[in-house]
Structure 1
Amino acid sequence: MPYTVTVRDHLMVAHSFRGEVFGPAQRLHGATFVVDASFGADELDADGVVVDIGRASAALADITGALTYRNLDEDPDFAGVNTTTEVLCKAIADRLAERADELGGALTSITVTLHESHIAWASYSRSL
């Protein structure tokens, strides 16, 4: 994929984790993420773009907005799942993929990166 366009938003959630490996994070706590969504294409479309940046930004904002200020432990979409950074990356990427046809361009991939801090982040990439 020679071309990539990235848009950014943020996400603030509450959640808890199951499992001793998570230590104190087993208790309910808040998390704030910077969210980068990168859209890849092998070729530019007829207008010379990978994706319509306005549409991509709006789609990402819709998805993060639906999750923000929510306790993910109570969200049926995440029932029985530890909502780790990696799991949230995949969930957002999959939701963007469902809207790929609306975004314009000839997309071949989506990568979502959630930055937990300036020193730690996770990503999930998927083909379209």
Structure 2
Amino acid sequence: MIEYTPVFTLTVDDHVMIAHSLQDEFFGPAQQLHGATLAIHASFERQGLDEHGVVMDIGLASELLAQVLQPLRYRNLDEHPDFVNKLSTTEVVVQHVALRLAEALPQGHGLRAVEVEAEEHPRARARVRIELDPQR
């Protein structure tokens, strides 16, 4: 018989509407101020399930994502204090969201990773994965 411990993932979704400009010639027309709606997918990963048979509570996961996105909603990221002197590319935004989610997790969460993906449009997305200490 094969012995294993399955790894489970819970994903919740939200979206955020932002404005920004990418002030570098590399970005061509995106150097100009423009808007973007990012579909955000936040995944929480656990080896095995907790005592309730879940990765984490779906309501809590959704609430944490909404809280992390709230300061970004309808904001010009060029003026947002967390993006000063940074290009607010989709990759930078997903890293920001993932770090804030990791910081917002309750003590003793037992998760081994948080992954955040943003779809900029149906044919382009960026993703980041942050490994966590499950004992935290």
Instruction: Give TM class, smaller chain.
Output: over 0.9
Please list every run of 5 or more consecutive structure 1 residues that lacks an aligned counterpart in the other structure.
none
Match of 1:31 among 11, 28, 36: 36
Identity %: 48
Question: Which 4+ stretches in 1 moved above 3 angstroms?
Answer: none
Q: What RMSD in Å do the two structures reach over aligned CA positions? A: 1.3
- Correspondences of 1:1-128 after superposition (within 5 Å): 2-101=7-106, 105-128=109-132
Aligned residues: 127
- Please give the TM-score of this superposition, normalised by the length of structure 2: 0.89
Contact 1:52 1:105 in 2 (8 A): no
Please list every run of 5 or more consecutive structure 2 residues that lacks an aligned counterpart in the other structure.
1-5
Report the alpha carbon displacement of residue 5 of structure 1 after superposing the two structures with TM.
0.3
Report the alpha carbon displacement of residue 110 of structure 1 after superposing the two structures with TM.
0.3
- Please give the TM-score of this superposition, normalised by the length of structure 1: 0.95
Larger Rg: 2
Higher relative contact order (CA 8 A, sep 6+): 1
